[in-house]
Amino acid sequence: MLVLVAPGQGAQTPGFLTPWLDLPGVEDRLRALSAAVDLDLVHYGTDADADEIRDTAVAQPLLVAAGLVSAAALGDVTPRAVAGHSVGEITAAVLAGVLDDTAALTLVRKRGLAMAEAAAITATGMSALLGGDPDTTVAHLEKLGLTPANVNGAGQIVAAGTMEQLAALEADKPKGVRRVVALKVAGAFHTRHMAPAVDTLAKAALELTPADPTITYVSRTRTARPSPPVPRCWTGWSARSPTRSAGTCAWRPSRSWASPPSWRCVPAAP
């Protein structure tokens, strides 16, 4: 079974879209998406440097657009399910037929701008911790005033907070943690530092008209309204709340035209 998983911020690297432009139709699609959100995605995916694409307002639409063109390169191959990490859930929504390209990029552009403004208030960042016991690590992070923003599974937790707090973490790692790796992001996402962006994102999500998925769309969680339900990753809730691999929800297509799509929430595999 083929499952496509779209990445979140930090996956971008300078020039990562350059080889994709050699494929038929890719540059045209990127330019069309660029026009929709008034952002030169071709430039940022090919010529821009690491600092330019670290900017949240650029990184988010750039990664979603990259996910869409790379999935299109599969041609007639259709995945059975799609999922994404953080903003990658919006990429997955397009692949599942829940949103169209323009609606998704418009939402992501607003999301990125709002989160960039929030990130500019205080110098913050994120670091991945490799190894260690999750309970011990979380307790240590909380002692330092950091948020365990992403609990990605056994052996990897992402801490988020101020740059001073992250420096203290580097100097005082939790017991059992092998490495602390600074991430290429411009703020402490999925924490209270993103609270100023919440209202903007919530309003933007309410402007959407999501469709029923054509394939299984996996999300961390969802809201009850509107109908079809809107995954919380589209709203301000996700911007300021930690993400965890447990509590995943699958939005499954209906088996008949008379039946609505269903959500089934399942624990993540250990």
Catalytic site positions = 86, 190
For residue 244, pLDDT beyond 90: no
Confidence band for 220, pLDDT divided at 50, 70 and 90: low
At which residue do the structure tokens 């490799």 appear? 130
DSSP class per residue in 101-160:
HHHHHHHHHHHHHHHHHHHTTS-EEEEEEEES-HHHHHHHHHHTT-EEEEEEETTEEEEE
Interval 23-74: pLDDT, tens: 999 999 999 999 999 999 999 999 999 999 999 999 999 999 999 999 999 9
Which of 17-26, 175-184, 208-217 is predicted with the least confidence, judged by mean pLDDT?
Answer: 208-217
Lowest mean pLDDT among 85-89, 170-174, 214-218, 251-255: 251-255
Describe the strand order of the beta sheet including 124-131 as a list of residue ranges: 177-182, 124-131, 156-162, 147-153, 243-244
CA distance 94 to 241: 23
DSSP class of 167: H
Q: Write down the pTM of the prediction.
A: 0.80
Collect all residues with Cβ–Cβ distance below 8 Å to 83 and sequence separation of at least 6: 3, 4, 5, 6, 89, 92, 217, 218, 219, 248
Which pLDDT belongs to residue 263?
Answer: 40
Tens digit of each residue's pLDDT (9 = 90 or more) over 121-165: 999 999 999 999 999 999 999 999 999 988 877 788 999 999 999
Longest Cα–Cα distance in the chain: 59
